[in-house]
Amino acid sequence: MKSSPPARTSPGGAPGDRAVQLPHPPCRNCALCVPGLENLCIDTAYPGHQVFGGYAQYVVRRQDAILPIPGGVDFETAAATMWTYTTPLNCARQAPVGPGDTVVITGASGGMAIACAQLAKLSGATVIGTTTKPDRDEALRKLGYDHIVHYTDTRLPEQVRELTHGLGADAVWDCVGGNDFFQLSLSCIRLGGTVIVLGTPTDQGSRLELDALALIGGQVRIASVRGATLRDQQLCLELLAAGKINPIIDRTYPLAEAAEAHSYLESQRQIGKVLLMP
């Protein structure tokens, strides 16, 4: 007898249900939402941007902007999942990798990068992470990276090619952003590979430089991701409930210590997510 497929998580819920907000709430009615491109919604209201964020003990959200938290999952883990895994899941659709493929993920210590690594491993790919902090190699390997290379090493592109039998990576998922990492991504990609830009550094400009001849000669695909569809957001909770992803929470701070939390983030000492607790 065939087993029934797992029930999909539906928006909304009943009074008293434990819920987590959608980080990318679609309007569901615009010209892009209707065909299923909810991540490109032209009337979205991102928490912390178009509407108030979560720096409060209580917040108000529309019923269709929340999802019920699966049983056995606590609030902290659900929060760390939704803000961290939804965009990487969309990234995995834009530049899919599978068994036998290799993906380079920049900024390996960050919560989004760790999510990217777990999703790539879930697909069967070999994962190479880049870091600026050599003392984190062992900790990062325990989180799922197959290889760690150092951004400060001038031989980094050669190391990636050595690890890929001279070809280069099938995909680079750039969680750091900025022109320096963009150029690094291009130097690590194989012919016909895909570079996905996920991050934009706050301390640098957002402009990227591109050599058209190199782009054409390598048949490299450059893409970006914006948010996630409703299905991707539901799927993240399903993967969490099934134990297929494991959000890493570095530490938590009470809401009253938000300034200290920001200082800790700015020190770039964390591995994983930093949460505020109401």
pTM equals: 0.88
In a shared domain, residues 56 and 138: no
In a shared domain, residues 122 and 55: no
The CATH number given to whatever domain includes residue 43 is: 3.90.180.10
| 6 domain residue, yes or no | no
The string of pLDDT tens digits covering residues 131-181 is: 998 888 999 999 989 999 999 999 999 999 999 999 999 999 999 999 999
Q: What is the DSSP letter of 47?
A: B
Query: Residue holding tokens 């979560």?
Result: 54
In a shared domain, residues 103 and 207: yes
**Spatial contact of 241 and 68, defined as CB atoms under 8 Å apart:** no
The string of pLDDT tens digits covering residues 45-90 is: 889 888 888 898 888 999 999 999 999 999 999 999 998 999 999 9
The string of pLDDT tens digits covering residues 186-197 is: 999 999 999 999
Query: What is the tally of structural domains in the chain?
Result: 2
Query: How far apart (Å, rounded) are the C-alpha atoms in residues 35 and 29?
Result: 10
Query: How far apart (Å, rounded) are the C-alpha atoms in residues 121 and 103?
Result: 10
